[in-house]
A and B are shown apart, each in its own frame.
Chain A
Amino acid sequence: MRNLRDAYSSALIELGYKNKDVVVLDADLALSTKTKRFGTVFPDRFFDVGIAEANMMGIAAGLATCGKIVFASTFAVFATGRCYDAIRQSIAYPCLNVKIVATHAGVSVGGDGASHQMLEDIALMRALPNMTVIAPADATEMEDVVPAIADYHGPCYVRIGRADAPVIFEKHGQFKIGKGYILKEGGDIAIIATGTMTAEAIKAGEILRKEGIDAMIVHMPTIKPIDKKIVEKAKETGRIITCEEHTIIGGLGDAVAMAMEDDPVKMRRIGVNDVFGESGEANELLEKYGLTSENIARVAKEMVKF
């Protein structure tokens, strides 16, 4: 298990040494997002704007117009919902080089409850022209995402959770913006997952294998632009399940459905079913909202039976 926020801050620091144009902003959550570590190493290139998230997005835009590569971080709920208009008008529309790296996405935030459990951020950011949307699955991948988005010119939204996550990728160098990965081949059904749910999808694949079902497991770190080729491959199985720690409206499921265009296959979406979250232990909440390998396997079995 490793924490993606730790991976984020280490990768940021490494990037900071390599590229003097990197500037990091936070809005009084620099200890939680861990950007404070960057600020300690590079005090001249780190600004805490206080509890003023929309202002942070505007400042990020202004810095970007002057050639800076700006990483702006806070919790996903504030980074997107509170700042939607600022992001839309001042970052996405002028297509500026701002990387919004939001932490604490999803119900697994736990005790803070619905006010802090952002489940609509992918939908919001996906809807914005020019915006790239990424949800890495583990710390290794997060360490690849940071330099990749810094190299890419344009606005990006990266969402990560709060909790430690199982390490899926042993090696660096796999992540490319816009590419999905087949983690396991299989012909009976395809399970496409993003972010925190990829680890669950892998476990679901093992459960299914024991029961004689051969599932293709796909990790889709970039939700926008979606990897159409991988969706084509998944379609060949005739059945697709999408998994995301996000509302089933407007997220990965919709992105995959859109990629199938006029020629869809049978599809089910695993995600939070149009409700707000609530306070609780992360694992209990994931269980309650069906965001587990067992639930994925159950749905897969149902689909394969028909």
Chain B
Amino acid sequence: MHDEKLVKEIKKNALKIRKLIVESIYRAGSGHPGGSLSIADIIACLYFHEMRYNPENPRWEDRDRLVLSKGHACPALYSALALCGYFPVEELKNLRKTGHFLQGHPCMRKVPGVDISTGSLGHGLSVAVGMALAGKMDKKDYRVFAILGDGEVQEGEIWEAANSASHFKLDNLIAILDRNGLQIDGPTEEIMHIEPIAWRWSAFGWNVIEIDGHNIKEILDTFHNIKKNEKPTIIIAHTIKGKGVSFMEGTLSFHGKAPSKEQYIKAMSELEQEERELDV
């Protein structure tokens, strides 16, 4: 449905985001590359096509909202916000630095474009429910997107929120589950199983869609086709933790660790190589 040109443009932006993630975490000396890289394609689709917002007016009342419930992945969000013009891309160099505004986890009071502060896992979906509820009350047509981690859904409050979202018929709420299969201590299914995850969400009264979370065209089409049937929607996006950097892909070790200098150089050259391939 979406044309090749758009897909290619978003792919490029996703690569830019990936490079900025690696660069900002490398410069910060700490952070979470794995879970940031796994959502880069989704974030790119949201910010470079799907979402309605205005960087000149970050608190615009009619904007679509994004709740990054897995707040540790904020380098992906910050990179997108910078590329969209919320603040200079240069600022990403100061991620996590004293006296600078890009906090290690998103802070709505400091970072323009951040709709809610997050970092403690499990709260974000509740906040998104509140935002979606306000949209319904005010008869506004904005949508609320919430990005959840697959480990995060082990938190009980997620299911309180899931239950309330379907109860309140919030079809303006779209959750995206970053199903990268890994949490800190190991694979989700070994640590604390969440399967059958699609079945669980549908039992809670949600529309459930499963996609490849790295296939730009599929992501775009999925957003485009979401039903307005009085149900909230969850997109279970199958992703690879660390996607785009060979030695980070599918590993536990880069969940919350910055690359060394050599690793940084290697990662950047891989991403640049991919960019060149896109251009031919």
Contacts and interface: CB of A to CB of B under 8 A. Distances in A.
Mutual binders A and B: yes
Interface of A: 23, 44-45, 47, 49-50, 52, 54-68, 85-86, 88-90, 93-95
B127 interface: yes
B280 interface: no
Given A49-B164, A89-B123, A62 B157 contact: no
A201 B67 CA distance: 48
A68 to B, nearest CB: 6
B195 interface: no
B131 A52 contact: no
A28 B180 CA distance: 36
Contacts of A59: 126-127, 129-130, 133, 161, 164
Given A62-B132, A89-B119, A94 B138 contact: no
Contact of A85 (B120, B125, B129, B133): B120
B123 A58 contact: yes
Nearest to B127: A62
Contacts of B119: 89
A89 B120 contact: yes
Contacts of A89: 117-120, 123
Given A52-B157, A54-B126, A62-B133, 9 more contacts: A50-B160, A54-B160, A55-B126, A55-B164, A58-B127, A66-B131, A88-B120, A90-B117, A94-B109
Interface string B129-142: 11111110110000
Contacts of B160: 49-50, 52, 54-55
B164 A65 contact: no
Given A50-B163, A89-B119, A67 B134 contact: yes
Interface in B91-146: 107-109, 115-120, 123-135, 137-138, 144
B199 interface: no
Contacts, number: 109
Contacts of B107: 93-94
6 contacts: A49-B160, A58-B124, A58-B161, A66-B138, A90-B118, A94-B116
Contacts of A68: 134, 137
B105 to A, nearest CB: 9
B190 interface: no
A94 B157 contact: no
Given A52-B164, A89-B123, A90-B123, A58 B157 contact: yes
B164 A50 contact: yes
A63 B123 contact: no
Contacts of A60: 130
Contacts of B132: 62
A94 B114 CA distance: 11
A90 B168 CA distance: 21
Contacts of A90: 116-118, 123, 126-127
Nearest to B167: A50
Contacts of A50: 160, 163-164, 167
Contacts of A55: 126, 129, 157, 160-161, 164
B134 A62 contact: yes
A94 B117 contact: yes
B130 A61 contact: yes
Nearest to A54: B157
B117 A54 contact: no
- Of listed A52, A85, A88, residue having the most chain B CB within 10 A: A52
